[in-house]
Amino acid sequence: MVKYFPPPYRIKMIEPIKLPSVERRNQAIKEANYNLFNLNSEDIFIDLLTDSGTGAMSDKQWASLMVGDESYANAKSFYRLKSVVTDLTGFSEIIPTHQGRAAENILFGYILKDKPHSFVVSNQSFDTTVGHILYNKAYPKDLVVQESKEIDTTLPFKGNMDIKRLRELLETEHQNVSVITMVLTNNAGGGQPASIENLREVSMLARQYSIPFFIDASRVIENAYFIQQRENGFREKNLKTILHEMFDLADGMWMSAKKDAYVNIGGLIALNNKTFSDHLRDRLILFEGFPTYGGLAGRDLEAMATGLSEAVEGDVIAHRINQVEFLVNRLHEEGIPVVLPAGGHAAFIDAGKFLPHIPPNQFPAQALAVELYLQGGIRSVEIGSLMFGHQEGDRFIPAPLELLRLTIPRRVYEKAHFEFIIDTLLSIKKEKDKIKGYEITEESELLRHFTCKLRPLD
Ligand code: F0G
């Protein structure tokens, strides 16, 4: 059994939470049309929807807010952030955005401008990234290693790119590949990391064919921690050194700072090519704001700089990974199918396996999400065919796995919360055969899972 170590912090301020009555939960989920994004936060006891912007800031981050420079242009807070990011990544051109998808809008809107119908090759693009690729009339092409789809295969780097398939694709189609990306860690595939060895091979191929290579660095510090713990030759290296080795292999990165930078809002693009970055800044001014604030307040830039500097010290990341490992291993021991080994930011339950009587087109992970809310006031998120499945004519194309993500906000919940989550799932397990599937009654064209309405099937 994984030992749960005490966190490397103590609590200074609390936010009350309450388990609503069974009647209220039943009412609330109906009012939300069985889409947990539509639930009011007041109706939730433990919120595992996302680790994005939901973390607790440190005392030093709160203090940073007070020294934010709110000048419109060239605020000193920007230069502090720039120096922290350059120090961590080696990139000289730093572009702040208000969050990750804003960075995607700036970046993909430029890269894909004259390349309709091209491919964006990735280990596995996340939902908003897929949205931006499609919005720009290009296609996502995911080449994550096959083992990523086998939940029980406990390899250390299941977020790796399948190099053989990448090489084959580039041999025949390299003119149609506009950019290669690596999502670190691989959110859609269980929060699994990629190795430096794999990044090296991706980088070599990208350079051989002169294709830009960008890292989605939203959880890159967690990925660096996994490299330190799992990859030969990295045990003695600190996270900053490992981050440099990773970023040296890429042309640039973008990130949602709402994850590993421990802030409630923020994003970034970083790269070295000045001309390229100037094109991005033109778009930044149009969509976000002046290049030194990019849709954020000066105080947000300060909090982000402090958050990044603290995260890379490693203690909080180690505790966080320990929390996730505790939850994942306990669920595994209790016979609940989870993606193994534990990833960086969440436990991913294989709802396809847990509820084999519900087919993918009836969204088993969504059915489990609704049940988890009804039984424990716990909000989780479907990462399966509701998020990634689609229709091709009459054919339903399911997601590779029907996952339910129990996402762990940073520095928010403690061991007793995890015990409660495990107990709730165990009580669901006893009567899981009674859970019914769902159908969509209303949906949008892109990113439907955020707003769609559902109905339980009889
Ligand atoms: N890239 C990855 C890997 C992400 O996980 C996310 C967001 C984004 C980009 C977009 O960033 O939200 O700041 O605009 N993921 C969140 C999640 C929303 O719940 O996993 P954003």
Distance CA 169, CA 304 (A): 38
Cα-atom radius of gyration of the chain, to the nearest Å?
21
**Interval between CA 52 and ligand 1 midpoint (Å):** 7
Instruction: Please give the number of the atom of ligand 1 that sits closest to the Cα of 102.
Output: 14
- Fold of the domain built from segment(s) 59-311: Aspartate Aminotransferase; domain 2 (3.40.640)
User: Which residue CA neighbors atom 5 of ligand 1 most closely?
Assistant: 187
CA 290, 291, 296, 302 torsion-angle sign: negative
Amino acid identity of residue 118, one-letter, is: S
Please give the CATH superfamily to which domain 22-51+314-456 belongs.
Aspartate Aminotransferase, domain 1 (3.90.1150.10)
Residue 449's nearest CA partner among 394, 382, 391, 404 is 382
Q: 100: Cβ below 6 Å to ligand 1?
A: yes
Distance CA 226, CA 219 (A): 11
**Interval between CA 128 and ligand 1 midpoint (Å):** 7
pLDDT at 1: 81
Instruction: Please give the number of the atom of ligand 1 that sits closest to the Cα of 186.
Output: 3
Residue 404's nearest CA partner among 331, 347, 357 is 347
Q: 97: Cβ below 6 Å to ligand 1?
A: no
Could you tell me the residue ranges of all domains in the chain? 22-51+314-456, 59-311
Per-residue pLDDT of the chain (458 residues; tens, 9 = 90+): 889 999 999 999 999 999 999 999 999 999 999 999 999 999 999 999 999 999 999 999 999 999 999 999 999 999 999 999 999 999 999 999 999 999 999 999 999 999 999 999 999 999 999 999 999 999 999 999 999 999 999 999 999 999 999 999 999 999 999 999 999 999 999 999 999 999 999 999 999 999 999 999 999 999 999 999 999 999 999 999 999 999 999 999 999 999 999 999 999 999 999 999 999 999 999 999 999 999 999 999 999 999 999 999 999 999 999 999 999 999 999 999 999 999 999 999 999 999 999 999 999 999 999 999 999 999 999 999 999 898 888 899 999 899 999 999 999 999 999 999 999 999 999 999 999 999 999 999 888 899 999 999 98
Q: 101: Cβ below 6 Å to ligand 1?
A: yes
What three-state secondary structure class fits 44? coil
pTM attached to this predicted model? 0.96
Number of CB atoms found within 10 A of residue 133's CB: 25
What three-state secondary structure class fits 102? helix
Alpha helices in 209-262 (DSSP H): 220-230, 239-248
User: Which residue CA neighbors atom 8 of ligand 1 most closely?
Assistant: 100
**Interval between CA 432 and ligand 1 midpoint (Å):** 31
Residues sharing a CB contact under 8 Å with residue 205, sequence separation 6 or more, in sequence order: 163, 166, 167, 170, 180
Residue 243's nearest CA partner among 262, 220, 209, 273 is 220
Q: Is 53 left (phi over 0), alpha (psi -120 to 50) or beta?
A: left
Best residue among 125, 185, 187, 388 to mutate for probing ligand 1, ranked by most atoms within 8 Å of CB: 187
In this structure, the dihedral spanned by the alpha carbons of residues 88, 89, 92 and 98, taken in order and rounded to 10 degrees, is -90
Residues sharing a CB contact under 8 Å with residue 131, sequence separation 6 or more, in sequence order: 101, 446, 447
**184 is written with which tokens?**
């670190």
**278 is written with which tokens?**
């100037």
Query: 403-407 and 438-442 as β-strands: parallel, antiparallel, unpaired?
Result: unpaired
**Interval between CA 157 and ligand 1 midpoint (Å):** 20
pLDDT at 30: 97
Best residue among 126, 130, 268 to mutate for probing ligand 1, ranked by most atoms within 8 Å of CB: 126
User: Which residue CA neighbors atom 20 of ligand 1 most closely?
Assistant: 50
